[in-house]
Structures are given as structure tokens and as C-alpha cells.
A and B are shown apart, each in its own frame.
Chain A
Amino acid sequence: MATPAPMLEYADVSVRRGTATLLENITLAIPTGSFVALTGSSGAGKTTLLRLANRLVTADTGEVRVAGKNVAAGDPATLRRGIGYAIQGVGLFPHWTIAENVAAVPRLLGHTGLAARVAELLELVELPRDFAARYPRQLSGGQASRVGLARALAAKPPLLLLDEPFGALDPETRANLGDRLVALHREQNLTTLMVTHDLADALLRADRVIVLDKGRIVADAAPAGIVASDHPAVRALIASPLAQARRLADLLA
């Protein structure tokens, strides 16, 4: 029996900007159903790697495949409508209601009768139904992030791309939303790729963590394996949350 193609695949991918190399010879397979966190210091290439998947960035060499298909072939808009996408600033359209924002992708796909779907999505991200009629300016940061997540899931994409989805939130909201995300990942049978600069977030949410440094993968393992890594870039990332956790543990003891 042939194994099914991974949901997302990078085959010897490099990305350059002028003389700088953002990503170098990345080869990577993300099987269907996995929750992968991409982490690393600023400028390591996390966001570039993520954006290759929905062709917001194009590879200079190599090939990126989603569900076995080369993303460079075909129409980018069609590709993107089939992939969930949520980002740090959320980027809700300020002139649209929450309902319109949430229903944006199904509407682009030509679906109609979206009111019920909007209600369902608001429930999934634990927002009251009457938020549908509000405008983005009337929401708190956490509420906006939930709407962003609902918008990304609206057309039931098999693949979800998240770029620092909880970046600007307070710790409590962040924890709540992180838990909800993990639950949604399971309930909706998603394959999730999440960029985060916060190693703790990566270790606690994902079932696989990839650490990038200067455009290369320096660690790729389950959370336990990452903690055990002795690569200097990984150790540097771990150092500060580890020290923090120890001090907290001492304080609580």
C-alpha cells in the first residue's frame, strides 16, 4: 500500500532576496493531521517558510507541494482560498461586519446562505452570536484574534497556516486561545503549521517543533526531543524560558 502524500511538502527549496539568502535547501514533509510549530529567532526564515505554502512567497529553486500538488502551478488565488490563513495583526477588513469578515472566503468561493455558517464559526471560536453585526473596531484584541481564526476556518480548509496568531495578546487570553486552537485542530481534522517566536508556546501546543536558524532547519523533533537538543541555536532559544520557569518554580516552592 502506497503511503498518502504529505499535506505539505518542501523539496530542496531556497529563497533569496537580492544577495541575501532567506531560506537554503529546505526539505521537509508535514503529514496530514500534524500540528507543527515553526520557531527560531527573528530573521531565521520562519514566516518565509510559512508563506511559501500559500504562495505569498515564491521559491527561487525547489518545489513546494500542498496535498501533492506544486503550488507554483495554477492560480494563486484559488490555492489560497483552499488554505486557512491567520496572522498576528489579524487584518480584519474594517469596513466589513464580523459576519462579512468571517464569511469572506466562502463568499469568494461563490457560496451563499452563509448566516448559519457564520453562527457556527462564532460558536467554534467561543464568541457570542450577536457579534456578527459588529464592526472590527468594536472588538478587543483577543476577540479580533478569534474572529481571525474563524475567518481562516470558514471554508473548512484541510491546511491551516498561522503566523504568530496570538502575538499581541495578554498571557491569559493567549493561553485560552491556545487551548481552543489545539482543540479545533483535532475536532476539524486540520493540518496546522504555526509560526511563533515563543518556544514555550511551540513546545506546549505542537506535536512537532521545527527550529530555524539563518535560513536552515537546525532541529526538527517532538517537543521532548527539542528540549534535549544540544544545537547552540536551540539552546539559546530555550535558555530564557527555562530560566524563567526555574525561577517561577523556586518562587512557588
Chain B
Amino acid sequence: MNEQWSRAFAMLPDRLAAHLGVSAAALALAILIAVPLGMLAISRPAWKTALISTAGILQTIPALALLALFYPLLLLLGGLTQRFAGFGIPALGLLPSLLALSLYALLPLLRGGIDGLGSIPPEILDSADGIGMTRRQRLLQVELPIAAPIVMGGLRTAAVWTIGAATLATTVGQKSLGDLIFAGLQLEDWTLVVTGCLAAAGLAILVDSALANAETGLKERRINKGLSGLVLLTALVAGIIGWHLATRPSATQTAAIVVGAKNFSEQYILAELIADRLRAQGLPVTIRSGLGSAVAFRALAAGDIDVYVDYSGTLWDNVLGRKDIVPRSQMLATLRSELPTRAKVEVAASLGFENAYALAMKRTDATRLGITSLADLTAHASQLRLATDIEFQQRPEWASLQKTYGLKFKTLTAYTPTLMVRALGGGDADVITAFSSDGRIAADDLVLLTDPRGALPAYDALLLVGPHRPDLTAKLDNLQNAIPVEKMRQANWQADRDTDKQTPQQAAKWLAKQLK
């Protein structure tokens, strides 16, 4: 337990510094945009409604979606600049985070500014003009000080929102406190989640109270109070940067290889395994984890990451856009030939196991009913309840299963993965969808039903290498067929189980020892 906490704590300084950096930069950018827009809105009332409602509409887009939208947008833009101006634009990491977060901060800033300056009584403006203040003097000496509480209120809201939403930047590959939260959620490591959330909340509260002090100081013109806010803010920033610098690994990692990982345990473990292999060959490596499934391949093709593991069925659908189901060997052969031509991505190795969709039952039930394959299930399905993960019923696999085996279940319910397993354990379901490399299969004594008619596509784990580091293929091809599915299951279980939970690093080290 202590070890988990200290591991979570060790991740903090680096992520806190990155989090603060991206939040501050986004807020600064938002202010840079909001000030001229606010001025425009005040001098031309027709613009006010348009600006406020545009910012309002942006606000209704979930922050996560806004971040995800910027990825393809920047990718497209980068392609255009590459063609016409000869330079690219990074589509992953800081830039999309910065843009999405600053758009998100725009509404409270604009609203605070416009409402604040709009709330000043006309006789005050008239007397400021009448006694001979210039426009600038009126703005700085009269309007802004009077509007300050409302403007600062907007700034505080924007700051708190930005710090909160910055946790989501992890999904587009920007380092942030979200790294802890997302990793923790996937690994069901609550120490990581709690540490990440507390750190983000603490940061937001401290920044908010520092700004509140600055606001009171400004409003009541108490220099000390205003200064105390600034001092608190400066101390906070300096503290986090100092902590980060003090704990930073001393070796400068220039041109490190970036190993990517999607957001589930197996991916974290394999990324650690690959990283260890490369480090053993003396290469500098960093890991960028928590990538969204759709983002990962494009990140590889764009050179934002250099190597990661994906699955043949996923690539078949997402990259090649194919919905048909073909035999395993044919799918592999097609991917090996198509990926290099389409995206300059090489399949360096097929790791030797599948993480495929399958249906699973408790061994006791399967034995009692005499079911070993999907074909056996056909006769019993009308008496059985199926629990699936949330996306399964929308996937082609389900349509194919129904068509091939004529499956008609008594009930059909969608759950989150954890609840789905609980439903089986608690007797609320008889059959569940499962992934073939899931650690729970062995642990919970489940039987995976075989697929004699090939209704389900293959999901072979493939090691993919991006266009900038073709040399990695040779360095990693000894992973070809190196990982048996049983070993992958056990490694996954070490990271997923609740008792004696191992970190992905520990599970990767264990797995490495099992390989030939």
C-alpha cells in the first residue's frame, strides 16, 4: 500500500509542473484573445451578443470532445502547411491542449469583462469624461478598478475551469495530472486517481484563493492583501517548478524514443516492456501513455510517437476501413502490406497473442450445460442472459455472431467492464463478452467459447513502428511470437487485481522474465 502511494507521489512533481504550465499558458492565451474581443464587444454592442453566444456554444462542447476535435484539425492544418510552407504543425501534445483549453476559458473571461465594464453607472463614465480624463485614464483609473471584482470573478472561474479541464489533456498526449487519473482509472489503482484528483483540486483551490486575495486587495485598495495574493501565486509556481527540477532525472534525454500506450493495463505493461528492451540497448526512451484508441495510430503515423502495440482487428476497421471479416492469416498479410504504403508504418512483430472479443462463461455453467463453443451456445441462448461491454452491441462482431450462430439471448444488457464481470459473478448474467488476454479469465475460472465458424475477427497484438524510426524494427523484431496469451493474461491480472496489485513496470519486468 505504502509503495503505491509513494509511486503515485513520485509521479507528482513532473505532472504538476506540466499541468501548471499548460493551464497557465492556456489561460494567458485566453486572456490575450478575450481582451481585444471584450473591448470590441463594449464599443460595438452588436458584437456583444454574437461573441457571448459563440463562447457559450463552445462551452457546451464537452472539454474532452473539444480536445479530440483539435487533433484531426491540426493534423489537416499541418498537412497543408507542410505542403505549402514546408513546415509541419504538431497535432499532439501541447498545441491542441492549449487551443482547446483557452477556447474553454474564453466564456467566463468574456462574460466577466463585458458584464463588469457594462455594469458601470453612466453618470460615473460621464463625469470621468467631463473632468477631462483621456480614454486610457478612464479605462485604467475608473472602469477597470470598478469592474475589477466582476472581471476577477470571471478570471477566477476561468482559472479553476482550466486547471480542472487540463486533466483531460492527457488524452491528446499532453503531460498533466490527468496522467495519474487516467492511468489509475484503467489500472483500478485508486491511489493514483485520488492523488491526481487531490493535486488538481488543491492546485485549483490555491490559485483561486491567491486570485481572491489579489481581487480583495484591488477592490479595497489594500496593497498588502493584493501583494499577499501575488506572493502566494509566485510561491506556488516557484514551489512546483523547484520540486520538479529537484526530482527530475539528471540524465538529459535528447531525442528519446517515444513509446505510446493506449489507456488500458495491457498497453501500459507492453509499453514498459518495450521501453525496457530499448533501454537495455542503451537508447533513451520516454513513454506517452493514456492515448485514445483512435488517436494512437495517427500519432504514430505523424511521428508524435515512435512505437506502440495495436491489434489487427482494430487496424482493419479504423485504418483500412474494412468491415468484412476475413481469416486471421489473411488479415495479417493484408496489414503487413497495406500499412507501409498507406502510412509508412511497419509491422515489426506479431507478439504471439490475441486480445480478441470472445464470449465467456463460468466453467461450472459451461460444464453443466456441455457448452465449449459458440455453436453449442445456439441451442441454450434463449435461456441465458448476456452481459456486454458498452460498445459491443454496436460493433460488427455482434452482428456477425448473431448471423453466423443465430444467437437469441433471453436478455441483453450493457455494462462497464468492471460491472459486467460483477454481473457474471453475482448471477445477474450467464454469458459475458470478454477479451481473450484479460487476466480475469484465469483468475475467475472462466471458459472462453471457441469460434469454429470464424465469426469473430482476429485481434492479433502487433508491434507497430512509425516512419521516423525504421531502425526500431530490427531492435524489436525478437518479440515476434514471444508472448503466449497465458503469460499476457497473468501479467494483466497482476496489474488489474485488487489485492497485491502490481504496477505496470513490475508486471512488465515479470513478463520479460517469462519470455524466451
Contact = CB atoms under 8 A, between A and B. Distances in A.
Interface of A: 54, 56, 76-82, 85, 87-95, 104-105, 108, 148, 151-152, 161
Contacts, number: 66
B130 A80 contact: yes
B427 interface: no
A195 to B, nearest CB: 13
B126 interface: yes
Contact of A81 (B128, B132, B219): B132
B145 interface: yes
Given A89-B121, A91-B124, A93-B124, A56 B129 contact: yes
B133 interface: yes
B123 A151 contact: no
B25 interface: no
B146 A94 contact: yes
Nearest to A81: B132
Contact of A54 (B122, B130, B134, B141): B130
Given A94-B146, A95-B146, A95-B221, A87 B123 contact: yes
A80 B132 contact: yes
B121 A91 contact: yes
A58 to B, nearest CB: 13
Contacts of A108: 131-133, 137
A87 B145 contact: no
B127 A90 contact: yes
A102 to B, nearest CB: 11
Contacts of A148: 127
Interface of B: 121-134, 137, 141-142, 145-146, 219, 221
B85 to A, nearest CB: 46
Residue among B122, B126, B132, B134 having the largest count of chain A Cβ atoms under 10 Å? B132
B131 A88 contact: no
Nearest to B148: A95
A105 B131 contact: yes
Contacts of B127: 85, 87, 90-93, 148, 151
B128 A85 contact: no
Given A88-B123, A91-B126, A95-B221, A151 B131 contact: yes
Contacts of A77: 132-134, 137
Contacts of B129: 56, 80
B130 A56 contact: yes
B384 to A, nearest CB: 74
Residue among B124, B127, B145, B219 having the largest count of chain A Cβ atoms under 10 Å? B127
Of all A-B residue pairs in the complex, the 9 with the closest CB atoms, nearest first, are A89-B123, A91-B127, A80-B132, A81-B132, A85-B130, A91-B123, A77-B132, A91-B124, A77-B134
6 contacts: A56-B129, A85-B131, A88-B123, A93-B128, A95-B146, A151-B131
Given A91-B124, A95-B145, A80 B221 contact: no
B286 to A, nearest CB: 51
Contacts of A95: 145-146, 219, 221
Nearest to A80: B132
A177 B127 CA distance: 20
Contacts of B128: 91, 93
A56 B122 CA distance: 13
Given A80-B131, A89-B126, A93-B146, 14 more contacts: A76-B132, A77-B132, A79-B132, A87-B126, A91-B121, A91-B124, A91-B126, A91-B130, A93-B141, A93-B142, A94-B146, A95-B146, A95-B219, A148-B127
A110 to B, nearest CB: 12
Contact of A105 (B122, B126, B132, B219): B132
Contacts of B123: 87-91
A212 to B, nearest CB: 20
Residue among B125, B130, B141, B145 having the largest count of chain A Cβ atoms under 10 Å? B130
A88 B124 CA distance: 11
Residue among B123, B131, B137 having the largest count of chain A Cβ atoms under 10 Å? B131
A196 B266 CA distance: 83
A122 to B, nearest CB: 18
A87 B130 contact: yes
Nearest to A55: B129
Contacts of B219: 95
A82 B142 CA distance: 20
A209 B124 CA distance: 28
B225 to A, nearest CB: 15
Contacts of A87: 123, 126-127, 130
A108 B142 CA distance: 13
Contacts of A82: 132
Nearest to B221: A95
